[in-house]
Amino acid sequence: MDRIIGLTLHSAALWFFLLSNVAAQSTIHTARQSAIGTAITVQGVVLNGEELGPIRYVQDSTGGIGVYPGNGSVPAFSGANPGDIIRVSGTLTSYRGLLEINPVTAYEAISEGNALPVPKSITLAELGPGNEGELIKISCVQWTSETTFAGGEILVSDEEGTTSTVYFRGGHPLIGQPVPAPAMDIIGISSRFDTPQILPRSQNDFTPAACINYIGGLISTDIGTHTLTFSFLTSNTGMGGVRYQLAGDTYREQMDTVEGEQHQVMIPGLEPATIYSCQPFLDREGHRSFGPASWWITESESSGMIEAYFNYPSDSTYSSGLYPNGNSGKQMESRLKNLIDNATSSIDFCAYNINQDWIVTALNDAVYRGVRVRYIGNDGTSNTSLGQSLEFPVLLVNPYELMHNKFIVVDAGETDKALVWTGSVNFTIDQMEVDPNDCLIVQDQSLARVYQEEFEEMWGGSGSQPTASNSKSSRSKSDNTPHLISIRGMPVESYFSPSDQTNKAIIKALKTSDKSLAFGVLSFTRDDIADVVIAKYQEGKTVRGIIENIDDQGGEFERIRQAGVPVISFPAQPIFHHKMGIVDYDQPDSDPLVLTGSHNWTTAAENDNDENLLILHSAGLANIYRQAFEAIYSPSVSFREDLPLSIALGAIFPNPVGQILHVQTQPGFTGHWLQIFNSQGQLITAFQQPGGFVELDLPVGDWLPGWYVLRLEVDGQMYSQRLIKSP
């Protein structure tokens, strides 16, 4: 007799309820062809248990499907275990591209302890809708360099060189367990989260494989304008080589000169500032195997000039002889206007939000000059300036998460004019003129083409008009851009989220610190990055930080502070908006690094948002960014133990202030001096408080926009308040 699971009362009413929610049973293959929203009933064997969370994958002889007990589901479904044959009814839905039954409106356990289906042997290239929801097996999978299983998405490849991801949800029992071998046969469930992924269940799903392992993939040893030189290591001896192609072109190949496990290959005859797909291979005993392909770009013939702007004064006492190109919001805005006005062929504008009408006017004017302008914005944030008449096409993307980029690509097709603007600053008045931010402008065609490639993935093509049906954002994007660019011999790393494992790049960069590490971020919620910060401090390195959002869910501020790291919060106004890291800023011979872009140190930035990150290997830029960091960190340290100034004064308003600052004094604090410091901690003015209740009007119209600190000392106790000077 069939056993009904999950009924607390064996009543006729409940039995009728279950039957009334049961559609006619079909095979899983037939059910998958139904329209989204259709009520379906299927029967099959359960492939997984709680290791994958509440979802269960069910397979019959025709296919597989996910079953998720969302809101409105019958309660007993969660008791389904691997080997149970069950009958389920519910609504066919699509979640991030995965077909599943949700909610479960009826559930019946037929039997238990059944054998699971034999895994279907496929290649990574075949992973997808044809086997979604089924148990599959991939042979000779190349694992990454990690020796223990980690949570999240892990990029893997097979012998054909195809790449895909293996995913471990948080709390998976394999996290932290040792990886059996660098090359393995993997069994798992074929699933999807925007793109195909493999879901292993236990250690039994991994079997060491006697196949060739490409250890570490391609490593660039030299990037020239006409050559790319690589080394790679294999687990077996053979004749190595690299095949390469332009996108959509046929493959060509270059061989090593000797057999071995260590291989060195130089590819000649390439074009400057050109992207190539490169893939290592090994010929051994009449068989050719492939390692994972990756994207590379030759060095450009551009100037490589880099400009750095901050919208507040830097502390020049830390300068090694170099200084920012600008230290105010007005200078930043003026440079942006100049950049747009001097474009001659193309502008690709990618902005999280915008409320500066003059920028749109300048873009319209560029169109009138014959410049092709394309604009991508975030679908869900305020873009008030886009409400005016536009002469250029706009595409809004990523409505469920954030298109959080703030970059511009200008004249990417012109060697001497190609520019990239990137950094932390949004294109709003407060962001450019008040909130601490940075931007970099890089004159390099290689970098411009990399950023243009990312733009066009979201745009849906290379045309003047967007192709929304082909547009990819968030998790639907692929890792399809070079990650290492040589700019006049200077290594620059480039990553885009969520496709490029940006978080790993941040961790790798911070781990290189030999003496010093400074960071300043709006939001910091990643445990693994915090682990590195704390470890570097415990190693005796000079580690300091600034965090704006100290109360974010999962925030790392308290954990880092309690570990002893000198990390400070930034007061409520203005918003500290940087996403900066500076490694070995005082060690010019220790490969100093600057990290900047739109990518906060958060899981949302890593997994969901469209973001960008640059890691620049430059002692000069590290010093320039240090000057900006010290200008905020040092005054904040000196003022952070103060009591609120409102205790000592009646009121200070408005804040932000434009022309006149109103100060109300009160008895008990008469005769003391009120001091006002700029963001560098420099005293700019002071006045003595008169007695009694007095209102003072202090002219501030000639102050530079930015933030200031008002400070009062009474009987050894300091009182202070942060003040914003608006434009």
Q: What is the pLDDT of residues 660-671, one digit of tens each?
A: 988 877 666 556
Work out the average pLDDT over 396-421: 96
CA proximity to 422, closest of 563, 570, 588, 595: 595
Query: For the chain, how big is the Rg over CA atoms in Å?
Result: 29
User: How confident is the model at residue 571, as a pLDDT?
Assistant: 63
- Low-confidence winner among 210-224, 364-378, 498-512 (lowest mean pLDDT): 210-224
Q: Are 299 and 225 in contact (CB under 8 A)?
A: yes
In angstroms, the Cα distances linking 611 to 378, 398, 407, 408, 527 are: 11, 11, 10, 13, 19
Position with higher pLDDT, 278 vs 317:
278
Residue 340: how many other CB atoms lie within 10 Å: 22
Work out the average pLDDT over 144-168: 86
223 has a pLDDT exceeding 70: yes
Question: pTM value?
Answer: 0.81
Residue 81: how many other CB atoms lie within 10 Å: 14
The pLDDT tens digits for 585-594 are 999 999 999 9
Q: Please give the Cα distance from 481 to 294 (Å, whole number).
A: 8
Six-digit token string for 467: 């192709």
Position with higher pLDDT, 275 vs 217:
275
**What is the identity of the amino acid at 539?**
E
Distance between alpha carbon 473 and the CA centroid of its chain, in Å?
A: 12
187, 498, 450, 251 alpha-carbon torsion, rounded to 10° = 10
Six-digit token string for 667: 């008895």
Residue 332: how many other CB atoms lie within 10 Å: 24
Would you place residue 570 in the very low, low, confident or very high pLDDT band (cuts 50, 70, 90)? confident
User: How confident is the model at residue 4, as a pLDDT?
Assistant: 32
Would you place residue 658 in the very low, low, confident or very high pLDDT band (cuts 50, 70, 90)? confident
Position with higher pLDDT, 631 vs 655:
631
The pLDDT tens digits for 464-499 are 999 999 999 998 899 999 999 999 999 999 999 999
CA proximity to 224, closest of 299, 336, 334, 129: 299
CA proximity to 77, closest of 89, 85, 69: 69
Angle made by CA atoms 405, 408, 412, in degrees to the nearest 5: 130
Residue in the block written with tokens 């003129």: 433
The pLDDT tens digits for 517-547 are 999 999 999 999 999 999 999 999 999 999 9
* 449 three-class SS: helix
User: How confident is the model at residue 557, as a pLDDT?
Assistant: 96
**24-63 core/surface letters (b: 16 or more CB in 10 A; e: else):** eebebeebbeeeeeebbbbbbbbbbeebbeebbbbbbeeb
Position with higher pLDDT, 159 vs 587:
587
φ, ψ at 626 (rounded to 5°): -65, -40
Domains along the chain with CATH numbers: 12-111 (2.40.50.200), 120-208 (2.40.50.140), 222-297 (2.60.40.10), 306-473 (3.30.870.10), 490-639 (3.30.870.10), 643-725 (2.60.40.1930)
- Any residues with CB less than 8 A from the CB of 35 and at least 6 apart, and which? 92
User: How confident is the model at residue 430, as a pLDDT?
Assistant: 92
12 has a pLDDT exceeding 90: no
Work out the average pLDDT over 166-180: 93
User: How confident is the model at residue 692, as a pLDDT?
Assistant: 56
The pLDDT tens digits for 700-714 are 888 887 778 888 777
Work out the average pLDDT over 69-96: 92
Q: For residue 288, what are the β-bridge partners?
A: 283
78 has a pLDDT exceeding 70: yes
CA proximity to 166, closest of 214, 208, 219, 205: 205
Six-digit token string for 132: 């979604």
Would you place residue 638 in the very low, low, confident or very high pLDDT band (cuts 50, 70, 90)? low
The pLDDT tens digits for 257-310 are 999 999 999 999 999 999 999 999 999 999 899 988 999 999 999 999 999 999
Before 498, cis peptide (omega within 30)? yes
In angstroms, the Cα distances linking 408 to 110, 330, 411, 665 are: 59, 18, 10, 48
Instruction: Kindly state the percentage of the chain with pLDDT values over 90.
Output: 72
Six-digit token string for 1: 């007799």
- Low-confidence winner among 657-661, 678-682, 683-687 (lowest mean pLDDT): 678-682
In this structure, are strands 306-310 and 438-442 parallel, antiparallel, or unpaired? antiparallel
Q: Please give the Cα distance from 147 to 99 (Å, whole number).
A: 33
φ, ψ at 537 (rounded to 5°): -65, -40
Residue in the block written with tokens 């029967």: 43
Quick one: how many helices (H) and strands (E) in the chain?
11, 42
Six-digit token string for 235: 């687990």
The total number of residues shown for the chain amounts to: 727
In angstroms, the Cα distances linking 145 to 178, 183, 356, 504, 657 are: 12, 11, 46, 12, 54
Instruction: Kindly state the percentage of the chain with pLDDT values over 70.
Output: 93
Residue in the block written with tokens 């990150």: 613
Q: How many CA atoms lie within 13 A of 507 on its CB side?
A: 14
φ, ψ at 94 (rounded to 5°): -125, 120
* Max CA distance (Å), the chain: 96
